[in-house]
């Protein structure tokens, strides 16, 4: 039954993007619900590279906190990726709870699951590069799965050729906003910090309006404005001279308990957020370090020994 479009029936449209439409579907052989990501093929250009990249990476990633790719169907005018069906995404889930944010204990649980999926990727030298609530899927049981690997890259050898036009602006770390192309897994860890705080507030933490300059200003107003003395690599970043206007006037870091009121209900919550949202990439927690942070101290130790699947 695999590799054939006739093996699945479309039920309803779940979402539409610039090059793909996602349908809720069902396997005619098993009755299992699936998500059908139908990508239009251009006769001259073939399949979009992002789709090829996503499919090739997901075939190698088998983890309970990463979306499962069941099937790939190549037709004349379409390429269809068949995924396991998930009820909603984190962005929609937060919308259901309004501007008050979700329950702190759920925010901690979702963050741990996100870290499990990311660590599995990072251990295989794969960077997601587009962490945002829309790319984090949830089941009815509260299972979280990382999805949309269209921008992901396998970092097999050190390189200085990555694009700095990665990650949706609101979740892009300051070193990348300032032109760094030599990033590592720290790129994704900044995104975890942004998503953690967004779950507690119900709104994006750094909602830049237009460009890197405005995005940096939003970050500095919350975390404080760095200087060459507080962030040693700052003067060496390619876009620093062009974005100097973002550094004036200088801001001090906000009081996290006052600004993110729900964080006071999470023991070690402030420390966890600040350990992820470090300006210096090498100072951010790794996936392994984050999973063993004291914020998760109430979870049994066995949670660190669960099977991947």
The pLDDT value given to residue 157: 40
On the question of a common fold for 8-84 and 88-304, the answer reads no
Residue 60 pLDDT more than 50?
yes
Token pair, residue 98, equals 């309004």
Residue written as token pair 């206007």:
245
Asked if residue 37 belongs to a known ligand binding site, the reply is yes
At 171, list the tokens.
Answer: 């979740």
| CATH superfamily name and code, 88-304 | Transferase(Phosphotransferase) domain 1 (1.10.510.10)
Q: What is the pLDDT of residue 25?
A: 97
Q: What is the pTM of this model?
A: 0.92
For residue 197, what pLDDT band results from cuts at 50, 70 and 90?
A: very high
Positions annotated as catalytic residues are: 130
CATH class of 8-84: alpha beta
pLDDT, tens only, 35-47: 999 988 876 666 7
In the predicted structure, residue 257 carries a pLDDT above the cut 90: yes
pLDDT at 183: 80
* Residue ranges of domains in the chain: 8-84, 88-304
């Amino acid at each position: 039954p695999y590799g054939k479009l006739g093996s699945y029936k479309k039920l309803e449209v779940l979402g539409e993007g610039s090059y793909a439409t996602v349908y809720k579907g069902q396997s005619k052989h098993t009755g299992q619900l699936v998500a059908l990501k139908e990508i239009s093929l251009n006769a001259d250009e073939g399949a979009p590279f992002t789709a090829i990249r996503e499919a090739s990476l997901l075939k190698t990633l088998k983890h309970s906190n990463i979306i499962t790719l069941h099937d790939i169907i190549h037709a004349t005018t379409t390429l269809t990726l068949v995924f396991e069906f998930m009820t909603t995404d984190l962005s929609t889930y937060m919308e259901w709870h309004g501007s008050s944010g979700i329950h702190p204990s759920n925010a901690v649980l979702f963050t741990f699951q996100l870290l499990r999926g990311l660590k599995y990727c990072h251990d295989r030298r794969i960077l997601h590069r587009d962490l945002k609530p829309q790319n984090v899927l949830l089941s009815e049981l509260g299972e979280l799965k990382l999805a949309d690997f269209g921008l992901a890259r396998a970092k097999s050898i050190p390189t200085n050729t990555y694009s700095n036009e990665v990650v949706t602006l609101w979740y892009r770390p300051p070193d990348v906003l300032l032109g760094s192309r030599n990033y590592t897994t720290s790129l994704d860890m900044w995104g975890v910090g942004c998503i953690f705080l967004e779950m507690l507030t119900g709104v994006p933490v750094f909602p830049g309006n237009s460009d890197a300059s405005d995005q940096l200003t939003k970050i500095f107003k919350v975390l404080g404005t760095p200087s060459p003395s507080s962030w040693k690599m700052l003067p060496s970043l390619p876009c620093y001279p062009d974005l100097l206007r973002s550094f004036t006037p200088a801001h001090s870091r906000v009081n996290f308990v006052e600004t993110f009121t729900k964080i006071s209900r999470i023991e070690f919550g402030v420390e966890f957020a600040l350990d992820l949202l470090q300006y210096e990439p090498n100072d951010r927690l790794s996936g392994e370090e984050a999973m063993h942070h004291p914020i998760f101290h109430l979870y049994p130790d066995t949670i660190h020994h669960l099977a991947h699947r």
